[in-house]
């Protein structure tokens, strides 16, 4: 993976988590961007799970960190996921300085993942002060523990009929990688 990072000057990583539902339709897990950083411009838009590769970070470390930050470890333990990436067991595609991993999950095992995530997020979000999103009411609230305010399964028809609620870069990345 280090050779890939250097050769392609990888700066960004993303994970497209997908499955086939009970009617054999492809479903993609997306998350709504949360306002957890100053000057964030994409708040409220949906996208895949993505992030920036830190300067000295390996691709497997970055991907497993991003999985954790975007799903609260609900898809898979980040250390197991890191091993799958390190062992080259998850498909990926490279587009410019971006590497995207395509990870298929079992629908029966993960169909309720958005419900669980959304309930935990609601509970965790109670830690925030209602007058300011920057200050915590409870000192031990984990800052940057979650990057998405909501997760949900969607299909291609939903995307096509609701383009305005998605980050344009997500749409571009999705169709570049799943075509």
For residue 176, the model assigns a pLDDT of 80
Strands (DSSP E) contained in 69-156 are 91-95, 98-104, 148-154
For residue 174, the model assigns a pLDDT of 84
For residue 131, the model assigns a pLDDT of 52
* pLDDT tens-digit profile, the chain (179 residues): 778 898 889 999 999 999 999 999 999 999 998 876 656 677 889 999 999 998 899 999 999 999 988 898 899 999 999 999 999 999 999 988 999 999 999 999 999 999 999 998 888 777 665 555 555 555 555 555 667 889 999 999 999 999 999 999 899 888 887 65
As to burial, measured by CB atoms within 10 angstroms (0-12 exposed, 13-18 middle, 19+ buried), residue 120 is middle
For residue 130, the model assigns a pLDDT of 52
For residue 85, the model assigns a pLDDT of 95
The structural domains of the chain, ordered by start, are 2-178 (3.90.79)
* 12 and 97 Cβ atoms separated by less than 8 Å: yes
DSSP bridge partners of 166: 46
Radius of gyration from C-alpha coordinates of the chain:
16
* 10 and 95 Cβ atoms separated by less than 8 Å: no
State CA 107 to chain mean position distance.
17
For residue 76, the model assigns a pLDDT of 93
Nearest partner of 75 among 37, 107, 121, judged by Cα: 107
- What is the pTM for the complete model shown? 0.86
DSSP 3-state assignment of 56?
A: coil
For residue 95, the model assigns a pLDDT of 87
């Amino acid at each position: 993976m280090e050779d890939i990072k250097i050769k392609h000057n990888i700066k960004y990583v993303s994970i497209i988590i997908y499955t086939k539902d009970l009617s054999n339709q492809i479903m993609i897990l997306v998350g709504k961007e949360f306002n957890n950083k100053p000057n964030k411009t994409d708040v409220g838009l949906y996208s895949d799970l993505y992030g920036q590769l830190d300067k000295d970070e390996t691709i497997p470390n970055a991907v497993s960190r991003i999985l954790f930050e975007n799903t609260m470890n609900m898809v898979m333990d980040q250390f197991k996921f890191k091993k799958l990436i390190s062992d080259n067991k998850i498909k990926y595609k490279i587009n410019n300085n971006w590497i995207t991993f395509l990870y298929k999950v079992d629908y029966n095992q993960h169909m309720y993942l958005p419900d669980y995530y959304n309930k935990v997020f609601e509970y965790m979000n109670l830690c925030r002060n209602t007058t300011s999103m920057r200050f915590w009411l409870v000192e031990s609230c984990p800052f940057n523990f979650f990057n998405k305010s909501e997760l949900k399964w969607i299909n291609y028809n939903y995307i096509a009929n609701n383009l305005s609620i998605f980050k344009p870069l997500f749409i571009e990345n999705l169709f570049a990688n799943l075509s």
